[in-house]
Each structure stands twice: as C-alpha cells, then as structure tokens.
Structure 1
Amino acid sequence: MELTPRQLEIVELVKQHAPITGEQIAELLGVSRPTIRSDLSVLVMLGFVDAKPKVGYFIGNALRPESAVQHQLRNWKVKDRMSRPVVIQENATVNDAVISLFVDNVGSLIVTNEEGRLIGMVSPKDLLKVAIGNTGAGAIPIRMVMTKHSQLVTISPEDSIAEAARRMMVHQVNSLPVIRPDGTADDRSSGLEVVGRITKTNITQALVELATDL
C-alpha cells in the first residue's frame, strides 16, 4: 500500500518533531484534527508511527531496519486472509436472514442474485429497522431491507489487508465483501462475483500472528 502525500507529510513531521500531538500535526498541516484521524490510524496500524496516550506520536518500527513484520503486513493480500462468504439469496426472507446470522455467527450477510452475483448486504441493524412494530416482518423479502450494492464498500482479493483496514476505518464498517468482475455480465453491478469476505477479526488475527513472530 502506497502512502498518500498527506500521510508522507505526517511521517516527516513526526520525524522532525517527535513527540508531537495530533493537534500539533493538524495545525502544522493547516487542517482540523478530525481530518487526519484516519491517516494517523493507518500510519499507526502500518507501524510508521507509534502513539503514546497523553504524550504524542513517535516514529514507528516500520521505519527501522528490524521491521520485517510490518513489511509483511503491508504486503499481505486480502486473498491470503479472507474468510468464506456467508451468502443469502435475494428471494430469501427476513426470517431466513435472522436464522443465518445466528447459525453462522456473523455480523452481516452478503446478498446475491440467482447467478451468485453481489447485489447487497444485510446486517442486524437492517433487520431491526423493519422488524420493530411489524408483526409480519419475517415474511418480507430480504431484497426489500438490504443495503444495496451501490452503497456498499467492497475490496478485491489482490488488495492489501492494510487497504482493507483503511476502508473499514474510513467507512466505519466491520467487514467488506471480497469481489472480482466475472466478465460475463452486461451490467457491471450484476457481474461482481463474491469470492470471500474480510473482517476486523481477520485483520486482528494477522496482527496477532505478526506479534507472535516478533
């Protein structure tokens, strides 16, 4: 994963002024603190900077010779760490979705059409919205309550897990469908084959493995 120009500038500021607070970095960049929050999170996760509460940011291990594990994290691909997709078809009902969530113990379901192409996702929050005060909610087709494909954040199996983590943080989601174009559909949205899912748990497991190797 290549750093953005602003992330590179943040790294240089930390090199020059460490320890430096997030507020000081934002002031030197001429932006607000919330604007760089995701940049700082990515840099900490990748090991470019370290953070100490009430002290500030320091140069991280990724900029030191012994940082092979951080290099591995940046170069691990989504396909190396993803889980199997937990899928439900669009003609399933809200009741079917509730059962699948509990049986598979997942935080969301990927919704596909009859050809197995991505058309949406459904979460417990989606189901709760339609179920409150609606005694007949269980029979509603899942396609009526799902979050549609156009509103989803997805990722390719060839992307890095660092990029997956960045997208999750920026968009405040816990998992991403892993997709690839199948090259057979006329419509791009119906031509996305679901090949997996990557979650915060997958990324945490990768970090634990790297920490064990330190």
Structure 2
Amino acid sequence: MIIELSARQLEIMSLVKQNAPITGEQLAELLGVSRPTLRSDLSLLVMLGLLDAKPKVGYFLGNAYRQDNAALQNLKTMLVRHVQGLPVNIADTLSVHDAVVNLFIENADTLLVVNEQKRFVGIVTPKDLLKVTLGNPNAAGIPVSMVMTRYPNTVTVTPDDPVTEAVRKMITHQVDCLPVVIDGQDGQGPEAVGSVTKTNVIHLLKDLVRTAE
C-alpha cells in the first residue's frame, strides 16, 4: 500500500528536517495556521513513523524517514537545474489585459517580466493583476511594469542552488513560484533561465517522501 502525503504534510516534513526538534506551536507559526489545524497531520506522520515526538521537546524525524533510502539521498544532492521548468516571460511593456491572457494560455501562476534587453526585472502574479483590475475599468491598458514586484524585491534561486533551499524559500516567503536567474555576462542585469513552482517541488517530494508496506 502506498501512502501519499499532502502538500502541508510535505511542508511539515521539510520544516522538521531543517529545525528539529521543533514544537507544534513553532510549526503552526511557520506554516501560518493554528495549532489545532496541524493536529491530524502530525498524528498521521507520527503514526507512519515519519515523525517522532517527545513531550516538552518537540518533533523530529522518525525511523521510517531515517531509513537508508537512495531516493532521499539523491534529494540532498539534487540541484534546482534538475527540476526547473521553462520560464513564462513577458515584456515589461505588455498590458495588464495581455498579461491575464498569457496566464490562461500558459496555465501559469506567475509570469516573469523582462525588459527590452531580455533581462529579468520582476514578477507578476494573479493577485497582482486582481488588485489593479478590481473596480478600475481602465486597468486593462496599464503596463505590467506598473503592477509587478520588482527585482531585487523578488525571491529567486540559481540553477546551482540545492532543491532543498528552493523548498525552504517557498515555505519561508509563502510563494508558489521562484524565478531561476543567472548573472548577465554584460552587467546589464540577471537573466531568467527557468522557474521552480511549488507544484513541481511537491510532485518531486511526493515521490521521495512516502512509505510502503
């Protein structure tokens, strides 16, 4: 029987791995939920042997998780370049209307914005577009450069960063997509060469963090 963990359970496992021993209250705070919300998740993970718990100490990795497992060992050395996907780039002069169209056509949750030199300058999310369009009939013609989150205020990774670092950044900053950038050779700014989404990482972890009997 294969038991697949939920997205939140995978996040719990990642946080425990990085911070053990860690209390339920600390986990709830990092995940932005209440302690009772996590109770069933923690109980399941303990039951499966993926987590152990000690009163007044906290949670730490269980025996089932610590067993020698080639896939888990591979995760420790896996780099962002191994899991990144193609970026969905749009020009900073593109209108908000066309950005929305691109979101649907590309089935993307984040658009990477580039300037005329094709250098990465920011990101646009559905939330960004929703904020500017609600109650504003003229918003469709506004360029995305006016609503995007500008680099370097965006959270990014490089192709040579560990996948575990990408997971940590997604959880810490509560973002669904990380642009993968490299330094431009001519000093004109970074280039966006890919993206890592939470969906990509969850599918990866789901294959690695599971138990069978």
TM-score bracket relative to the smaller structure: 0.7 to 0.9
Distance 1:210 1:199, change over 3 A: same
Structure 2 residue 210 is matched with structure 1 residue 204: no
Structure 2 residue 96 is matched with structure 1 residue 98: no
Spell out the pairing of 1:118-137 with structure 2 (5 A cutoff). 118-137=120-139
Contact conserved, 1:88 with 1:110, CA < 8 A, in 2? yes
**Partner Cα distance (2:88, 2:172) in 1:** 23
Structure 1 residue 146 displacement after superposition: 0.7
**Partner Cα distance (1:8, 1:97) in 2:** 38
Q: Which moved more, 1:133-142 or 1:78-87?
A: 133-142
Distance 1:64 1:9, change over 3 A: closer
**Partner Cα distance (2:144, 2:18) in 1:** 46
**Partner Cα distance (2:27, 2:206) in 1:** 28
Structure 1 residue 134 displacement after superposition: 1.2
- With normalisation by structure 1, the TM-score equals 0.72
Q: 1:140 — aligned with what?
A: 142
**What does the per-residue CA deviation read over 1:123-167, in whole Å, with 9 as the maximum and x for residues that have no partner?**
111111111111111111110111111210000000111100000
Q: RMSD between aligned alpha carbons?
A: 3.1
Distance 1:21 1:153, change over 3 A: closer
Contact conserved, 2:72 with 2:209, CA < 8 A, in 1? no
**Partner Cα distance (2:85, 2:19) in 1:** 33
Residue 178 of structure 2: which of 176, 179, 188 is its match? 176
**Partner Cα distance (1:94, 1:122) in 2:** 10
Q: 1:76 — aligned with what?
A: 78
Structure 1 residue 117 displacement after superposition: 0.7
Spell out the pairing of 1:27-176 with structure 2 (5 A cutoff). 33=26, 37=30, 50=51, 57-60=59-62, 64-176=66-178
**Partner Cα distance (2:210, 2:17) in 1:** 28
Task: Return 5+ residue gaps in structure 2 as ranges.
Answer: 1-15, 32-44
**Partner Cα distance (2:101, 2:122) in 1:** 18
Contact conserved, 1:94 with 1:137, CA < 8 A, in 2? yes
**Partner Cα distance (2:18, 2:165) in 1:** 19
Structure 1 residue 191 displacement after superposition: 1.6
Task: Return 5+ residue gaps in structure 1 as ranges.
Answer: 1-6, 15-19, 24-32, 39-43
Matched positions, count: 178
Paired AA for residue 100 in structure 2? V
- With normalisation by structure 2, the TM-score equals 0.72
SS in 1 for 2:73: helix
